[in-house]
Amino acid sequence: MSTRPPLPAHRARRGWSQAQLAEQAGVSRTEISAIETGRVVPSVLVALRLAAVLGEPVEALFGSAPATAPRWAWPPAGADRRLWQATVGGTIVAYPVEPTAAGSLPHDARADHDVPELAPGTRPDRTLVIAGCDPLVTFLVREMAERHDVRVLPLLRSSAEALDLLRRGLVHVAGVHLTNDDESSANDEQVRRQLGGGHCLLHQVRWDTGIAVGRHRRERRASDLLRTGVRWVNREEGSAARQALDRLLARRPRKPSGYAHVVRDHRSVAATIASGWAEAGICIRATAVEAHLHFLPLHRDAYELCLHESLLDDPRVIALTAALGSRRYRQWLAEVPGCVSSDTGAQRMIG
CATH fold group of domain 6-62: 434 Repressor (Amino-terminal Domain) (1.10.260)
Q: Compute φ and ψ for 249, nearest 5 degrees.
A: -95, 5
Nearest CA to 241 out of 141, 342, 135, 351 is that of 135
d(CA 187, CA 342): 18
Nearest CA to 335 out of 179, 207, 237 is that of 207
Decide: 70 and 123 in contact? Cβ < 8 Å.
no
Considering the four listed CATH numbers 1.10.569.10, 3.20.20.100, 3.40.190.10, 3.30.565.10, the one that applies to the domain covering 71-206+304-350 is 3.40.190.10
Task: Provide DSSP, 110-165.
Answer: E--SSS--PPTT--GGGEEEEEE--TTHHHHHHHHHHHH--EEEEEE--HHHHHHH
CATH fold group of domain 208-301: D-Maltodextrin-Binding Protein; domain 2 (3.40.190)
The full set of domain ranges for the chain reads: 6-62, 71-206+304-350, 208-301
296 three-state secondary structure: strand
Same fold, 6-62 and 208-301: no
Span 29-72, pLDDT tens digits: 888 988 888 777 777 677 877 887 888 777 678 765 555 567 89
d(CA 273, CA 271): 5
Q: Which residues neighbour 84 within 8 Å (Cβ) at sequence distance 6 or greater?
A: 94, 95, 97, 105, 107, 108, 127, 153
d(CA 160, CA 137): 18
6 three-state secondary structure: helix
Task: Please report, for residues 46, 316, 329, the alpha-carbon distance to residue 124 in angstroms, rounded to integers and kept in the order given.
Answer: 10, 11, 24
DSSP state of 230: P
Span 261-283, pLDDT tens digits: 999 999 999 999 999 999 999 99
Task: Provide DSSP, 38-91.
Answer: TSSPPPHHHHHHHHHHHTS-HHHHHSSPPP---EESS---TT--EEEEEEETTE
Q: Which residues neighbour 327 within 8 Å (Cβ) at sequence distance 6 or greater?
A: none
β 199-213/347-350 pair status? antiparallel
User: Is the alpha carbon torsion for 217, 243, 253, 222 positive or negative?
Assistant: negative
Q: Compute φ and ψ for 82, nearest 5 degrees.
A: -75, 155
Q: What is the pLDDT along the chain (351 residues), one digit of tens a residue?
A: 334 468 888 888 889 999 999 998 888 888 898 888 877 777 767 787 788 788 877 767 876 555 556 789 999 988 899 999 999 987 889 999 999 999 999 999 998 877 777 777 778 889 999 999 999 999 999 999 999 999 999 999 999 999 999 999 999 999 999 887 666 678 999 999 999 999 999 999 999 999 999 999 999 888 889 888 899 999 999 999 999 999 999 988 899 999 999 999 999 999 999 999 999 999 999 999 999 999 999 999 999 999 999 999 899 999 999 999 999 999 999 999 999 999 999 999 998
